[in-house]
Chain A
């Protein structure tokens, strides 16, 4: 699995299948995300996009198929190992921890925190304090860049829907991931904020972060993505550049429901 430039894909899913009862939600689907790319995943409602995300992040166990992330097979890892490996997801409906402050939401996401082992709170208290300080700075910088810095001490539950989306993406960055999986980052967000979110994604991408995005808003997909994968009824329908996909008769048919 090497592309025309000889690059290894960062994430490669091969022939994944998952059935819920009699429904084959994901049926022999494959996907590749090249490092440094913004890859889109589109398809009509019920095509199995979110299930595919759940499979990739190990929230759901696939019936068959392989997933390779960063050269390592991640089939047998637990969901929490995935983030530690450098792949982090957001949710379709933004899930912030409402009774924690915005800052606490951010700090939670940092990996390898010594203070997350309770004995270290006593045994290595200076390391814990030091890390906490560094992470606070990093979180402040990210919040600043998405324009949430003024709300850092507020409850995350007090944020508006759009701000929650921003916080969720910002929180994902605190993981210091290699790959971010965004599940409909533009859903339920006003047009101005959609533009902002797109700008942020492009900027972070230029800084070297890879994205895989599920999105229904075609303007967003077309303007952001280098490569688009189309899923319909759990199966791969097509993949290519946004322009190729736009002209693909099968894709149009799937969307318009011929």
Chain B
């Protein structure tokens, strides 16, 4: 379990980083980048190849991210003068081109054989007790800062709502979400029992479909008609989600801290986990500072209306280029993490699907919101992992069918989100209703 959680954390951190890069480009600057995975591929290949040929890891990583940024420069110089939808076409083309180059240029990338046995960060480390305790403390600090963010957010949500209303609505929301969770869990357990019995597949599938749709319908009705009528319903939802974050966070934190304490049990993964969490925390902090600075203000202005930014003396092209390059740099770092986690780099790791995972993460959390991107990454990776290992025991589908099914469900969830909360989970609703 511990090892599994550790790799879940690494993947989440990797995709959080990857999503943060896209959020800078699209969420803040409005650049439609459908080839984000290209930056990741450049970062991954450069880092691993350089480190294989003896370049120190830190330098190799920085060079990898730098080369990803250079790719941003190249794409930017040639296409940023195009209208935004053309940028989307060009970027998706570039990412596929790069993947095909990686498949075919075997002298450089070893093609479909993939790159293996490259050095991993902190893998040979055998830290003494004080160092391990220090690492646990750093982790605690990062997690604590995360909780503090949630707390600040919660405070904003609760401002001006009477205490009495908060208590009732929070309890109601906790009951609502808790019972939904228990119910779905029960359905899962029941179905997994039925699956090993000799019930025909079609009957189980149909039964499951009807049950899930039924539960969904009842709960949507309850939420819409009953819960949303409660005074302070949104505040209650905020408290319930905050409580869930706290419990889930502490649960995960326990595994991470224990893994760090017992570093030598699995040095390469534990070190990578520590590194990736730290990297996400630093990049997140830096980005938050940037988007709140005058620099970030110019990016947002470009997203809203380029002509105005131009008329007010901002060199729009130059800023778009910076955004594309910086987002590419961050994605390049994510690429290094990705390679270290996979321990083998194949061209197939960089299919367009990965780009759209990042889009799902950013849209889910709310575009133009870095906290939302982190949340989106956590939700997305949790979903990915839950469904990968749980669904096969429940749903009567073959493995390949399940793979497609899981993506279909993501599409469905995104559609529900677009209807119910088009601004994303943490997006601001007011922003949608504003006229141009």
The A46-85 residues at the B interface (CB cut-off 8 A) are 57, 59, 78-84
Query: Is the C-beta of A88 less than 8 angstroms from some C-beta in chain B?
Result: yes
Taking CB as reference atom, which chain B residue is nearest A113?
A: B294
Q: Which residues of B270-299 are within 8 A (CB) of A?
A: 289-290, 293-295, 297-298
B431 interface contact, C-beta 8 A: yes
Q: Which of chain A's residues has its CB closest to B304's CB?
A: A97
Interface SS of chain B: helix
Contact code string B146-181 (vs A, CB < 8 Å = 1, else 0): 000000000000000000000000000000000000
A98 and B434 contacting across the interface, CB-CB below 8 Å: yes
Kindly state the separation between the CA atoms of A205 and B322 in the bound complex, as whole angstroms: 38
Contact B313 A99 (CB under 8 A): no
Q: How many A-B residue pairs have CB under 8 A?
A: 99
- Report B-chain residues with C-beta under 8 Å of the C-beta of A89: 311
A98 touching B304, Cβ below 8 Å: yes
Contact mask for chain A residues 124-158; partner B; CB cutoff 8 A; 1 contact, 0 none? 00001000100000000000000000000001011
Q: B300–A157 contact, CB under 8 A? A: no
The chain A residue sitting closest to B312, CB to CB, is A109
Q: Are B293 and A59 in contact (CB under 8 A)?
A: no
Nearest residue (CB) in A for B298 is A116
Distance in angstroms between the alpha carbons of A118 and B28 in the assembled complex: 14
Residues of A within 8 A of B314 (CB): 80, 108, 116
Those of A207-227 within 8 Å (CB) of chain B = none
A121 lies within 8 A of chain B by Cβ: yes
A175 touches B307 (CB 8 A): no
Q: Check if B313 sits within 8 Å of A111, measured CB to CB.
A: yes
Give the CA-CA distance A109 to B310 in the complex, in Å: 10
Query: Would you call A104 an interface residue if the criterion is a C-beta within 8 Å of the partner chain's C-beta atoms?
Result: yes
Please classify how large the interface on chain A is, using the bins under 10, 10 to 19, 20 to 34, 35 or more: 35 or more
Contact yes or no, A83 B435, CB < 8 A: no
Docked complex Cα distance between A155 and B301 (Å) = 13
User: Does B313 lie within 8 Å of A84, measured CB to CB?
Assistant: yes
Residues of the A chain whose Cβ atoms lie less than 8 Å from the Cβ of B301: 97, 100, 108
Residue pair B304, A99 in contact (C-beta under 8 Å): yes
Q: Which one of B289, B294, B308 lies within 8 Å of A97 (CB-CB)? A: B308
A107 contacts partner chain B, Cβ-Cβ < 8 Å: yes
Encoded as 1 (CB less than 8 Å from any A CB) or 0, chain B from 251 to 271 comes to 000000000000000000000
CB distance from A232 to the nearest CB of B (A): 26
Least distance between A200 CB and chain B CB atoms (Å): 19
B224 within 8 Å of A (CB atoms): no
Contact B307 A99 (CB under 8 A): no
Mask for B295-333, Cβ within 8 A of A = 1, else 0?
101101101110111111111100000100010000000
A128 and B294 form a contact (CB under 8 A): yes
Measured CB to CB, the nearest residue on chain B to A84 is B313
B430 within 8 A of A: yes
Tell which of B290, B307, B326 touches A59, judged by Cβ atoms closer than 8 Å: B307
Q: Which residues of A lie under 8 Å from residue B293 when comparing CB positions?
A: 115, 118, 121, 128
Chain A, residue nearest B323 (CB): A118
Residue of A nearest to B432 (CB): A99
* Contact A116 B312, CB 8 Å, known A91-B307, A97-B300: no
Task: List 19 interface pairs A-B (beta carbons < 8 Å), by A numbering.
Answer: A79-B310, A80-B315, A80-B316, A95-B305, A97-B304, A99-B304, A100-B304, A108-B294, A108-B297, A108-B312, A114-B294, A115-B293, A116-B298, A118-B322, A121-B295, A122-B289, A155-B430, A157-B434, A158-B434
* Beyond A95-B436, A108-B297, A175-B312, 20 additional pairs, beta carbon < 8 A: A59-B310, A78-B315, A82-B313, A83-B311, A84-B313, A88-B312, A95-B305, A95-B307, A97-B308, A99-B431, A99-B434, A104-B300, A116-B294, A116-B295, A116-B314, A118-B326, A155-B431, A157-B436, A158-B430, A175-B313
